[in-house]
Structure 1
Amino acid sequence: MNILQAIDPVAFSLGPLEVRWYGIIIAFGIVLAFIVGQREMVKRGFHPDYLTDLLLWAVPIAIISARIYYVIFKWDIYSQHPENIIKIWEGGIAIHGALIGSFLTAYFFTRKRRSSFWKVTDILAPSILIGQLVGRWGNFMNQEAHGGEVTRTFLENLFLPNWIIEQMYIEGKYYHPTFLYESIWNLIGVIIMLFLRKVNLRRGEMFLFYLTWYSVGRFFIEGMRTDSLYLIGDLRTAQVVSLVTIAVAIIIFVYRRIMVKPVVRYQDK
């Protein structure tokens, strides 16, 4: 029996401008990630303005690249309506595009500042995953990025609160809360990385763990979703990108273990 109505995706309106929960939650995730990352960056000897300067470039570039990524894999639609390409407020961004844009920005930024890309990404890896786990709740508010159809009994057996179950009731059917699966997976990853901070890893290995952990979870969860971007036929783009990322991360890990000398450790200044 349905008790609650679906949550309104619009938080409030300012005249004709609608402020959506999705944007508020994404912004909150970025701020929270910044606070956690900033504290660790200063602790590791970076100037307090370093991360702010990086994010001033990384955030807008990440948004643009997330949109470009989405449009590329939906080009059959956007080629017919190119005027809709800039209408990001109507939805249509991809986290893999955002990550690619932000990591490239970080690479060139660290080179410009003559600091280590691996050191910076090691420090920020847990923060990035924090931002992602919070951001997935924006999908929840929009009733998107869900999985296939399930029964209400299935959701109740997951011991989910009723407000989550009701939000997964979309157009007369219940769906897998894949946003929640990924959010929990990311939370476990953050906990593991907080533990790994006490281990004096080789530089770059915290970041490589992040890439591998997120990609493993994304690969399996993506297979449950109903709104995937597709590369060719039934080949899901996010699954291909995840597999490639895992392979590259493992190759880099092995290469750096064997070939990179002298060894610089995570906790080294």
Structure 2
Amino acid sequence: MNPEAATGRLVLAATPLGNPGDASPRLRDALATADVIAAEDTRRLRNLASSLQVSVVGRIISHYDAVEAARLPGLLDEVRAGRTVVVVTDAGMPVVSDPGYRIVAAAAAADLPVTCLPGPSAVTTALVVSGLPCDRFCFDGFAPRRAGERRRWLETLRTERRAVVFFESPHRLAETLAAAVDVLGAERSGAVCRELTKTHEEIRRGPLAELADWSAAEQVRGEITVVLAGAAPDAPTPEELVGEVADRVAGGERLKDAVAAVAEAAGVSKRELYNAALTSTN
């Protein structure tokens, strides 16, 4: 028996962002064999099953933000009774800015089996098409709605070296990007990813100023994921590099050669570094 079809477990299942062709065979099997499917939107779940030509034989119940807490005890009882409960959201991975966290935490606390069917995620999809360095990144969910909170949030990103991914409503995108220009600077790079994997997918890349102008001029629609480049590291001061120069001199290099090598690598003035090195030895 496949692990996904085994009874007595909670299964978090990623669903396509927009293109049904991205559904995995494991997702199809889970939808066809689950005893209970807890769906953020039951109508969308039925439409997805229909597009995948999957016959759902299990019970389908709604599982969105407003009812998530109330549904929790009953769903855990289903797992305790030896049944498979599959949790799906409208698109992408449950829990990631979608319902699912409460039931996963409760199931783990009750020592009930929890597994995941990996698959589509707007976060990682946006990252890889952004064209920005993303070997290290953080995800900040939805941008704050209120102007003051949004500005305070952007202030925390001034020195964030990792790429930052967040979701935004198309109706607030222009306002958020304009605030990002004010706080993070016009030249900070970013990417706006719209309708990922869908027919009208669009990726806009460039400095924040250009993205802000575009979003203000266009009537942007659809699901939006934004990626911001990490902050550039501050250049070290000559005084901070004196120790490195001293180490090279101690290793046998001439002071002039050590200064030239360190200055070039750090992008600082050779003259300023040389003077700082001389001052430190006096």
TM-score (normalised: structure 1)? 0.24
Higher strand proportion, which one? 2
Higher helix proportion, which one? 1
The higher radius of gyration belongs to 2
